[in-house]
Amino acid sequence: MPLSESVLGRLHNQHEIIFSWMNDYGEKQLKERVNPDKWSAYENIVHLAAYQPAFIQRIEAIFANQKPQFAAYKAENDPWFYVYLEKSLRELAEDIKRTRFIIIGLLEAAGDEQLQYWGGHAKYGRLSLADWVEFFLLHEGHHLFTGFMLTRQSGKDRPS
């Protein structure tokens, strides 16, 4: 069964709120930690940008039909997360657009059989590629919601 229109729509558009934040808030404001023990909106964006290449690797491993097993992704254990932390918002935006284009291309080219290939997750068990896509989108949505709330909790109004 192909990916639903809902899933495809979210793949194409869900992440674009990030670009609104980039336009509405300065990099300094996005980097402000509302809660010193939690990531800033910027760090949430960095996490999403750094995870997309990891997700591409997972898709490719699943396509290889090797039934791969994946550890839970932790940004703090991903050296690329720290590389992405050094990037500007403009660079992050370009990386997000470029890697999302690759993700969409891989998934839109997948046949129904490939979407049923699976990979194991350390915590959630066996997931078909279609399940992995849903998991990816829900995970992204969580961080987008977090970033949305952080931009509103910073105590500053949007710049005019």
Half-sphere exposure (Cβ direction) of 36: Cα atoms closer than 13 Å: 0
Q: Within 10 A of 128 (CB to CB), how many other CB atoms are there?
A: 16
DSSP 73: P
In a domain, 159, yes or no: no
H or E, element range at 70: strand 69-70
Residue type, 103: I
Entry pTM: 0.92
Give whole-number Cα distances, 14 to 48, 94, 101, in Å. 12, 16, 13
Q: Which of 104, 123, 126 is nearest to 52 (CA)?
A: 104
Overall number of domains in the chain:
1
pLDDT at 158 over 60: no
In a domain, 13, yes or no: yes
pLDDT digits (tens, 9 = 90+) for 12-35: 999 999 999 988 998 899 999 999
pLDDT digits (tens, 9 = 90+) for 97-150: 999 999 999 999 999 999 999 999 999 999 999 999 999 999 999 999 999 999
In a domain, 14, yes or no: yes
What pLDDT, on the 0 to 100 scale, is given for residue 159?
54
* CATH code for the domain of 145: 1.20.120.450
pLDDT digits (tens, 9 = 90+) for 48-102: 999 999 999 999 999 997 899 999 999 999 999 999 999 999 999 999 999 999 9
Domain that holds residue 51: 5-153
What pLDDT, on the 0 to 100 scale, is given for residue 1?
66
Confidence of residue 160 (pLDDT cuts 50, 70, 90): very low
What pLDDT, on the 0 to 100 scale, is given for residue 66?
82
What DSSP string runs through 99-160?
HHHHHHHHHHH--HHHHT-EEEETTTEEEEHHHHHHHHHHHHHHHHHHHHHHHHHSS-PPP-
Q: What is the mean pLDDT of residues 148-157?
A: 79
- Beginning with the edge strand found earlier in the chain, give each strand of the sheet holding 69-70 in spatial order: 69-70, 118-121, 125-128
